[in-house]
Amino acid sequence: MLLNTDLHGHNIGKKMSCQQFIANLDHLNDGQDFAKDLLKALYNSIKNEKLEWAIDEDELRKSLSELVDDKFGTGTKKVTRILDGGNPFLDVPQALSATTYKHGVLTRKTHADMDGKRTPRGRRGWKKFYAVLKGTILYLQKDEYRPDKALSEGDLKNAIRVHHALATRASDYSKKSNVLKLKTADWRVFLFQAPSKEEMLSWILRINLVAAIFSAPAFPAAVSSMKKFCRPLLPSCTTRLCQEEQLRSHENKLRQVAAELAEHQCRPVERGHKSKEAEESRLKEHYLTFEKSRYETYIHLLAEKIKVGSDDLERIEARLAPLEGDDPSLRKTHSSPALSQGHGTVTGSKATKDTTGPET
């Protein structure tokens, strides 16, 4: 499918050659190479006749809705979607019956758009919302939350996915107090001001715990004709692993990321080297550092939750607060995703069935 997109997609530029396709798949057959004749035949087949969707996108979306209806029964027909671009596999239905983990007033500042691109100045202002963390979605509503109230178009437009996200204390932002930073799977960055320190810590805990429990294992990074760094694809669907398996998955991923980071740091790019190569190296180091912190946070929180042996978030927060308090390991965060290198673990304080400088 990736080769198909490279050969037949729009605005791709130079197409991938057969030799590049084969080289990109080196050692990916359980450490061995695939048979070159097989790869050549596959390349030529896709080059000569592009792959087509078996059903159109509207039909696919309809089938996804029917799957959710079947899962939640005839009494729960209402579903909604938070769009992540035009990929129908990432456009996953969200059941409105999902558990509400927290709700309350938050003031949001959009700090960076997708892939860490600087948010235009006109869209960086602070706006107050009534926030609802429901399932793996943070809904930002203009009116106070009511369980029986339907979501408006504006609510859906402002909603933020928290799968594979990391919330941290924005300790270098001094213009406002009680500010947390949320960095999402697609590297958007938001700042949120809570009414109190306790509420800020509670939001950090609950967002990270939801992400730790429900974030599905990452897909491999895209295969490209360009030998450049690509972040893995992070699916928005929830994991099928139980919590103990999820913890082991996070631990395995942490070991992998830590090893990749150590190897990367052993081969620094010389100063004055090709600017593109230096930028690729810097972005990869930033990504690996962030992922290491994210998985450390997930492991810490999920392990504590399993120890508590309960889904009661009040009990989990009560256990974490005295253990961590104002632990210096809550390292200072940075506003720009291209600059931030340290993200620490979290601290916590009810469950019912926001790329610019830091002073802008």
In a domain, 254, yes or no: yes
Same-domain check for residues 90 and 200 = yes
Longest Cα–Cα distance of the chain, Å, equals 64
Same-domain check for residues 209 and 256 = no
Domain CATH for 26: 1.10.1000.11
Same-domain check for residues 177 and 254 = no
- Ranking 111-115, 198-202, 255-259, 331-335 by mean pLDDT, the lowest is 331-335
172 CB-contact burial (10 Å; exposed 0-12 / middle 13-18 / buried 19+): middle
In a domain, 251, yes or no: yes
Query: What confidence category does residue 274 fall into, taking pLDDT thresholds of 50, 70 and 90?
Result: low
Give per-residue pLDDT as tens, 60-108. Answer: 555 545 544 444 444 444 444 454 444 443 344 455 578 889 999 999 9
Q: What span, in angstroms and rounded, lies between the C-alpha atoms of 307 and 286?
A: 32
Same-domain check for residues 35 and 100 = no
Give per-residue pLDDT as tens, 171-202. Answer: 888 889 999 999 999 899 999 999 999 999 99
In a domain, 204, yes or no: yes
Same-domain check for residues 190 and 307 = no
Same-domain check for residues 95 and 177 = yes
In a domain, 46, yes or no: yes
- Phi and psi (nearest 5°) for 94? -115, 115
- Ranking 51-55, 61-65, 118-122, 302-306 by mean pLDDT, the lowest is 61-65
What is the b/e burial string over 323-356, where b = at least 16 CB atoms within 10 angstroms of the residue's CB?
A: ebeeeeebbbbbbbbeebeebbbbbbbeeeebbe
Residues β-bridged to residue 352: 100
How are beta strands 166-169 and 160-161 bridged, if at all?
unpaired
Same-domain check for residues 132 and 257 = no
Query: What confidence category does residue 148 fall into, taking pLDDT thresholds of 50, 70 and 90?
Result: low
How many independent structural domains does the chain possess?
3
Same-domain check for residues 113 and 193 = yes
- Ranking 73-77, 146-150, 271-275 by mean pLDDT, the lowest is 73-77
Same-domain check for residues 11 and 123 = no
Same-domain check for residues 164 and 119 = yes
Same-domain check for residues 46 and 88 = no
In a domain, 255, yes or no: yes
In a domain, 229, yes or no: no
Q: Are 203 and 353 in contact (CB under 8 A)?
A: no
The one-letter amino acid code at 341 reads Q
The whole domain housing 91 covers: 81-214
Q: Which residues contact 261 (CB under 8 A, 6 or more apart)?
A: 285, 288, 289, 292
Q: Are 323 and 205 in contact (CB under 8 A)?
A: no
In a domain, 346, yes or no: no
**pLDDT at 285 exceeding the cut of 70:** yes
Same-domain check for residues 39 and 141 = no
Q: What span, in angstroms and rounded, lies between the C-alpha atoms of 284 and 154?
A: 35
**pLDDT at 341 exceeding the cut of 60:** no
Please state the three-class secondary structure of the chain as a single string: CHHHHHHHCCCCCCCCCHHHHHHHCCCCECCECCCHHHHHHHHHHHHHCCCCCCCCHHHHHHHHHHHHHHHHCCCCCCEEECCCCCCCCCCCEEECCCCEEEEEEEEEEEEECHHHCECCHHHCCEEEEEEEEECCEEEEECCCCCCCCCCCHHHHHHCEECCCCEEEECCCCCCCCCEEEEECCCCCEEEEECCCHHHHHHHHHHHHHHHHHHECCCCCECCCCCCCCCCECCCCCECCCCHHHHHHHHHHHHHHHHHHHHHHHCCCCCCCCCHHHHHHHHHHHHHHHHHHHHHHHHHHHHHHHHHHCCCCHHHHHHHHHHHHCCCCCCCCCCCCCCCCCCCCCCCCCCCECCCCCCCC
Q: Are 290 and 340 in contact (CB under 8 A)?
A: yes
In a domain, 307, yes or no: yes
What pLDDT, on the 0 to 100 scale, is given for residue 267?
Answer: 81
